[in-house]
Amino acid sequence: MVDGNPGESPTEVKLDKSEFVKEESRQLRGTIASELAEGELDHFTKDNAGLLKHHGLYQQDNRDARGQKNEDGSRKGKAFMFMVRTRIPGGRVPGESLLAHLDLCDRYGNETLRITSRQGLQLHGVIKQNLQQAIREINQTQLTTFGACGDIERNVMCCPAPVRHSSVHDQLQATAADIAEELKPRTTAYAEIWLEDDQGNRENVSEFTPVDEPIYGSRYLPRKFKTGVALPEDNCVDILTYDLGLLGVVEQGELRGYNVFVGGGQGVTPSAAKTFPTIAQKMSFVDVADAVPVARAIVEVFRDHGNRSDRKTARLKYLLANWGIERFRSTVEEYLGRPMSDPHPADVTGVEDHLGWHSQGDGREYLGVYIENGRIKDDEGVRSKSALRKIVATYGMSTRMTAQQNVLLCDIEPSWKSEIDAILADHGIIPGEQRSQIRRLAMACPALPTCGLSITESERVMPGILDGLEAELSACGLDDEQITIHMTGCPNGCARPYSPDIGLVGKTAGKYTLFLGGNTLGNRLAFNFQDLVPLEEIVPTLSPVLTYYRDERDDGESFGDFCDRKGRDDLVSRLDRGGDGE
Ligand code: SF4
């Protein structure tokens, strides 16, 4: 290990400005508290906005309102608002916490609650004066926004299925919870700024008393760090797209340990050709008891050797690319203080979406409820917010969020089933298992109007794209094919668009890069099939490829495998010939 304070690399040269902001922030305080108290100010200054991410907050502005004018013709200022993200290890949300979030989105947000692609919950459209109350109320439900964003360990994901046929799923959840606990920052800034003690008093925010921050030091990590835990037959949380993935190895019904995958990542910066998406590499096998120390050692290696001079190439995947897996592994072993075993042959083999009714194995059942784009809301036709409110308030069950942005209602007595089905039907919710395969697995990031980085629409146009693709698949007789489509409004890739069968990434206004050749398992990168595809041309562009797939696929071959086998040039030539099915 290097000498000196955690986070101080012996070889660093010119630090990125954000490193100074973190270092001088008094353990993530900055001047957030004083700016929060300034009632006149509807936003935070830039450095504080960066620090706020560690507290689970993104400062945004209503993109739909940009450019609007006042009555006198002058341009209106930005309509600032905040996204408030709750960190939920393993996606486990007590029923009362879900009810509280549903109330909060009505009182302080835009009346929608969004399940994130990483099993968190997001309020959108919260104005500055309501931030503190919203955060306090979230914390009163035993959850927190602290650590949901920022240069630290983000939400630790885990397969959320409440399966009790054996202890394996509960053990995976325990590992995820233990990693989240070990890797949470120790600073007391969050409590001081946002929370009250039992007597309703805020702690003194003007007196800074540093605490030991043994993992993160004064600069925290060079960039965000993401972790997921899954089983080979069910990679529902997409672990190979994260910095750290733990794949449970089960033998004779017992969890033996984990294969450790490192260096996955989806984000790309358009202006930086040196950035790229990757799939995580298999590094080692560890016992269950070693999962937490190994996760910590990996984070510490990243802390000390990640690139702190260029945030665009700071993620762990770039360190892996520079070092190679062998050097990385031996450095992790050095930090761990002992060697790790070579990887077990186990690999990802399947993905479940957990929709519909399932036995838990303990006499009770769980129900996966499909939520389009993870957006819980009341529309004219579909009122998922009211339905969930009524069901959870009536039965008091616990809930879990999936990585495909759906809700699992857990611990259901068989005698409740028919009433729950009736409530969902009354609120216009079609059972997930009756949805088309492509819709069940589809995912889109929020993009416009809330995300400051979005270049194109994503969530708002995805339902229309799915309508078109469902019609095409039906015409081809391919309705039952498991085809995954993920869409984002910019190359940052929040909805993981670089590894599914079909990926759509916003490139410029109204136009997308279309990726093909990934797969549902999430263990292969897709290739750039067509660039600058206008929104209205997405379905017509895919149509001849789907026809080609129908006509020339091998037995049992998936769409992604077919595209990967044929390759870009062959598929493009098919496109040029108009997809005539020759
Ligand atoms: Fe925003 Fe881009 Fe992430 Fe979508 S992928 S939420 S547009 S940063």
pLDDT tens digits along 367-417: 999 999 999 999 989 999 999 999 999 999 999 999 999 999 999 999 999
Kindly give the number of the ligand 1 atom that is closest to the alpha carbon of 448: 7
Give average pLDDT by consecutive 10-residue segment, the chain, 582 residues: 43 84 97 93 96 97 85 86 98 98 98 97 97 96 96 98 96 98 96 84 70 97 98 98 98 97 93 92 98 98 98 97 98 98 98 97 98 95 97 98 98 98 98 94 95 95 97 96 97 96 97 98 97 97 96 97 97 70 36
Whether 410 is a known active-site residue: answer no
Question: Any residues with Cβ below 6 Å from ligand 1, and which?
Answer: 445-447, 451, 453-454, 458, 488-490, 492-494
**Which one-letter DSSP state was computed for residue 75?**
B
Whether 149 is a known active-site residue: answer no
Please give the mean pLDDT across all residues of the chain.
94
Tell me, what's the pLDDT at 52? 98
Whether 490 is a known active-site residue: answer yes
Each as own residue / partner, the long-range contacts of residues 137-142 (CB below 8 Å, 24 or more positions apart, any chain) are: 137/100, 137/104, 138/84, 138/86, 138/97, 138/100, 138/101, 138/104, 139/194, 139/195, 140/100, 141/94, 141/96, 141/97, 141/100, 141/101, 142/94, 142/97
Q: Does the predicted TM-score (pTM) go above 0.75?
A: yes
The catalytic residue among 22, 29, 85, 128 is 85
Are the C-beta atoms of residues 550 and 477 closer than 8 Å to each other?
yes
Tell me, what's the pLDDT at 76? 83
Between the CA of residue 490 and those of 248, 463, 559, what are the distances in Å?
A: 33, 18, 24
What letters, b where the CB count within 10 A reaches 16 and e where it falls short, cover 44-66? beebbbbbbbbbbbbbbbbbeee
455 CA → ligand 1 middle, Å: 8
Q: What is the pLDDT of residues 28-68, one digit of tens each?
A: 999 999 999 998 899 999 999 999 999 999 999 988 888 88
The catalytic residue among 149, 159, 410, 494 is 494
